[in-house]
Structures are given as C-alpha cells and as structure tokens.
Structure 1
C-alpha cells in the first residue's frame, strides 16, 4: 500500500520542458518528498535526459518511468488502464496532478498515425483527451489538477505569432484554425501540397493547440457540474517560446541556430526584464507548471495562464458550440464509451 500524498503524472518527461518539470519537482522539497512521480516517455531506453535528472532525485522521492507512445491510441489506453489498476489496488496513490506536456510538430512534412489521424492533432489533442477521460477515475477528487500545455500559436490574433516578421497567420487563405474537425483530424488542412514551407506544419500545430485549449474549457465545464468530480481543476498553460526539441523535424537553421543558439540567449536576457516574456528558459516555464499544480488556489473554472498571468484564450476556444463539436468528434475518433470514464456528462 502506498503512503504517498498523491501521484504526479508527467507526459513527455524526456523533453526539454518535461525534464525541466521533473527537475523542478525534485528541487521542491514538498512535491519531491510527498508525492510519487510517474514520468512517461516514448522509449525508456532512449530517455537519457530524464535519466540524468532522476540520478539527482532525493531518496525520499518515489518515482518510476513508464513507456507511453501517444501516437498509438491502443498504447494510450493500455497505459491508462495500467495506472487505473494500480491506483485501485492501492499500489499507487491517487493522481494529484496530471501534467499533459508531451507535444509534436511537423515542419514541411505531414505524418499520419497508424490510427489514421494527423500526428500533430493526435498527439497534442486526441491522446490528451483520452488520457484525461480515462484517468479521471484515478484522480484526487478533492484537489486533483489536470494541466495541459498550450501555446500562443492557438490564437491567430496573438501578436507573438508575428515575432521576427513571421507572417504565417496573415495569409487570407487561412482565416481560422478551426475550419472543420474532420479536415484537421485526417490531415486534409494546411498540407505541404497547399504550402511547401514550414508554415503548413506550424498552422497544423496551432490548430492542434487550439483543440487542446478547447479541451481545457470543455472538460472544466463538465467537471464543474459533476457531483463527484467537481473538485478537479483543469488548467491550460502557455510556457512561452523555449529551447526544446519541438522543432527537431525542422531545417538546420530552425532546429539548431534558432532553438539551440538564439532562443537560449534571448531567454536568459528577456526573463530578467519580464517574468512572462515571449521567450523563456525551460526552468522558468517548469516552475510555472509546478506553481499552477500545487501553489495557486483551485480556480473553480477553466483557467488559462501565460506563465503566471491569466490570459484570455482564442475566440474559437471560447465558442461552446465548436467545443461540443470537437468533444463529440473526439469521442467517436477514440471509441470512448460510458464505461471508459468516471465523468457523468461524458457524451
């Protein structure tokens, strides 16, 4: 039987932000000593960054690494079922924080999953949708928190999208990031055939993040009306621009010069001028994630943060009709039924 105060699940724990979140948890005495860490990676054998961080874990911090491939809905279901069984048996404590951090972005290519969905949409939205619904039965019902990593790219009106003269959202051919759910899911929108540059992949990334932010709103609304689960909070968090591996499928200039050279230098300077600057070090964004999960009061509604400041989400994310359409599509796409989730208003 577990004596821990709760579990903390972090997806994408080997990435730049994911490993920084784990490092921050280990450096914060209360979370490290009081909670059980469940850190998911696509392949445990290749998770060298996470392994390096965990070598510095205090002896009191119970933790384990689980393999989770978000590109496979079957693997997502299997992992959720495993966690649910272990929580039900008392082997793991209930989930205090579910941090859905893992992300994916194509650049000039378009990748389809074996499930038949555009990879960016599946990893950034659909897999998070499935994990959230399936793991509700294992959440701490009084003060559990589900945190989904967002992005300024979800809002075509966010001025940060135009940094550096970027005109990706200025083309009148692309007036919205939510044209049709099926087109997004099946990879028929903003394709390399439509535009051969990295703009096509960035738009799909923005659309997938819009869907993730819509999930923040819709799940929070439904949980708020649930007699048993209303104590669970749902938070979205924009971590800002960071030096990470999200552009690993991009050109040498974007992958190395921008992300590994320019961004770290900018982040180190800008964070001294503004805590929530457009570009931030991963340690700062990781601290913001941990703060949102453990240090702020439960919002009692959907909350979206830009670092530490509340930020209004895109107009499409606040459209209840579009959110319901996305929710219904997600249920069908993932084959979710009433027996899969503890949420009363799941349909």
Structure 2
C-alpha cells in the first residue's frame, strides 16, 4: 500500500457508526492516515479492526471529559504534523458523543459530562488543530435530530432542549429533577443544539477552503449510544427501532457509517455551516439559527 498523503483526526471511531465510517474511509481513501483520539482501552479494541483495512492508523489515548487530556492529545497531533511524521491535516471529525440517564454526572473539570464531551471537547480540539488544516479541508461534527425535541423527529422519546446559556447548561443539575432520566435526555438534546450553534459560529470564522458541517445520522439501530440513557430508551433502541430497518427511517450502523464517510470525504455536497441529514444538506431546527446565542457560546468556550 502506498504511503499516506493526508491525515484525518477523528473522535468516536471505536464503535458504532464511527467505527464503520472509519473503516469505510480507509477502504475508499487508502492515501489517508487516520488518527483516532480515544481512551486507551476502547481504542486498543478498535485498532486491530482498523489496521485490517489499512496500516495507516494511529491511536492517541484521550479522555474527552478532561480539558487537559484533550489539549495534550491535540498537542501530540501538532508535534507529529510539524515533525513531518504525519501527512498534511485535511479533516477533523468530532463524532464522539455522550448520552446519560441523569444530568448530574460531572466531568474531570466539574462540568456536566454530556456538555463537556459533546460541546466543550469539540471546541477545544478545533481551537488547537484548525490552524494546521490545509485546504481543501472539511470539519465534521456529529449532531442529532433529537435537537428538534418534537414528536416528528423523536417519536416523543426525547424532551425539547432547554438552552439557558452555556454557563448554565454546562453545570451539573442545570435541568429540572436532574437525577431523573428525562433530565439526562434534555441534557443530550441541549448539547446537540449547542453543537449546531458551535458549527455555525466556526463557519463564520474559518477561512475559505476549510468548511465545517454538522452531520445527523438520524435513527440508527445497535449503536450503543443509549446504553447509559435509561431502560425505556434502551428497550426502544434494541427492540422497536430495528423493526423499521426495512423502511427508509432507520439505518444499520454499517449503512449510517457509509453515509458519515461520504460526508467526511466531501462526497456529500454542502456549504460550510450546513446541517447534513443522512445524505443531504437541509435545515436544522428554527431554534438552532441564532447568531447572538452562537457568539455568546463561542466567547464562553474561549474562556473555559
């Protein structure tokens, strides 16, 4: 196999649609060197499967719930790029996500864990690495149509997000009855709304030739994302959602992974700042377009 000529840095590549997407990218783009940021145990499990596809895969042990760990991982990527040990950086994929059964779990730094991983870690990684992206480049942030919080998009399983500003929603216990499953789900939908806000603000600031998009895989069976989100949602994802696999409404991880790979590789056309729903750019929720809110989020993240 020929030497790699470009680097993709990816979180959330060790299971579910992320692992499927990573394998698909390596198959279709053998010139790619994939750097996965993941905890050592999960990364070590995924690494053999990825290296069956391509030898151009590296693992950097990273705890996305720790600001120091994210900074250290990004610094390691920087060192490898600057030393010429990695080919030019062409893509950053923030696919990792957390969905919990409460809104009280705390990150290493004292933030609510869902927000810490789904929003703060994304910004920290982009802040450190975006200067190393070489045009043409694409940044992908995985979000969710759960941010709509309505019956059409969630089937009534998820509450609407409640955005009260980053300083508030990033705190453990920010939502009503925070120890309950519904609060954990609200923390999730709110964090995914925050992810779209973040994409919009980054799109305003990145130079021409570097685009950033949010990607919504929609309903996917068997991803494991709901494993910490309460029994009712686990039941729905395990037994009800798979019943719709024969319809256009639900994808398997392999199919969803291929669609995510299309987005990563730039095969799904979309302008910077766009919201890609599975295979096409479309509108996210009306609430997700708020330049003032996005600027406040940016300024707050720059201080964390």
TM-score (norm 1): 0.80
1:32-47, aligned counterparts within 5 Å? 33-43=30-40, 45-47=41-43
Question: In the alignment, is the contact (CA less than 8 A) between 1:71 and 1:114 conserved in 2?
Answer: yes
Counterpart check, 1:221 vs 2:204: yes
Give, in angstroms, the shift of residue 155 of structure 1. Answer: 2.1
Report the counterpart of residue 152 of structure 1 in structure 2.
145
Residues 25-76 of structure 1 deviation map (CA, whole Å, 9 limit, x = unaligned): 2332xx1x11101122212x34465135225224xx4111221110000000
Say if 2:26 and 2:32, in contact at 8 Å, map to a contact too: no
Q: Does the 8 Å CA contact 1:152/1:158 hold for their aligned counterparts?
A: no
- RMSD, aligned CA: 2.2
The match for 2:16 is 16
Residue aligning to 2:47: 51
Following superposition, the deviation at residue 109 of structure 1 comes to: 5.3
Contact 1:156–1:314 under 8 Å retained in 2: no
Instruction: Between 210-219 and 49-58, report the one with greater CA deviation.
Output: 49-58
TM-score, length-normalised on structure 2?
Answer: 0.91
Cα distance in 2 for residues equivalent to 1:259 and 1:56? 29
- Quote the residue 1:80 is aligned against: 74
Q: Which residue of 2 aligns with 1:166?
A: 157
Counterpart selection for 2:189 from 206, 228, 231: 206
Distance 1:53 1:266, change over 3 A: farther
| Gap change, CA 1:19 and 1:199, over 3 Å in 2 | same
Give the aligned partner of residue 342 of structure 1. Answer: none
Q: 1:244 to 1:71 in 2, by over 3 A?
A: same
Q: CA deviation at 1:94?
A: 1.8
Contact 1:213 1:236 in 2 (8 A): yes
**CA distance change for structure 1 residues 159 and 298 in 2, over 3 Å: closer, same or farther?**
closer
Residue of structure 2 in register with 1:343 after alignment: none
Q: Which has the larger radius of gyration?
A: 1
Match of 1:186 in 2: 171
Secondary structure, counterpart of 2:241 in structure 1: helix
Map 1:185-334 to 2 at 5 A: 185-193=170-178, 197-223=180-206, 229-242=207-220, 243-255=222-234, 257-267=235-245, 269-270=246-247, 274=248, 277=249, 279-296=250-267, 299-333=270-304
Change in Cα spacing, 1:248 to 1:215, as seen in structure 2 (3 Å) is same
* In 2, Cα distance between equivalents of 1:326 and 1:158: 27
Cα deviations by residue, 1:89-114 (Å, 9 ceiling, x for unpaired): 11111221211000001113521112
User: 2:38–2:59: 8 Å Cα contact kept in structure 1?
Assistant: yes
Counterpart Cα distance in 2 of 1:297 and 1:281: 19
Deviation, 1:311, is 1.9
On the 8 A contact 1:214/1:318 being kept in 2, the answer is yes
Residues 157, 314 of structure 1: 8 Å contact kept: no
Aligned to 1:336: none
Distance 1:203 1:99, change over 3 A: same
* Contact persistence 1:42–1:69 (CA under 8 A): yes
Question: Which stretches in structure 2 are left out of the alignment for 5+ residues?
Answer: none
Give distance in 2, aligned partners of 1:297 and 1:252. Answer: 35
Structure 1 position 14, deviation (Å) = 1.2
Q: Which moved more, 1:181-190 or 1:84-93?
A: 181-190
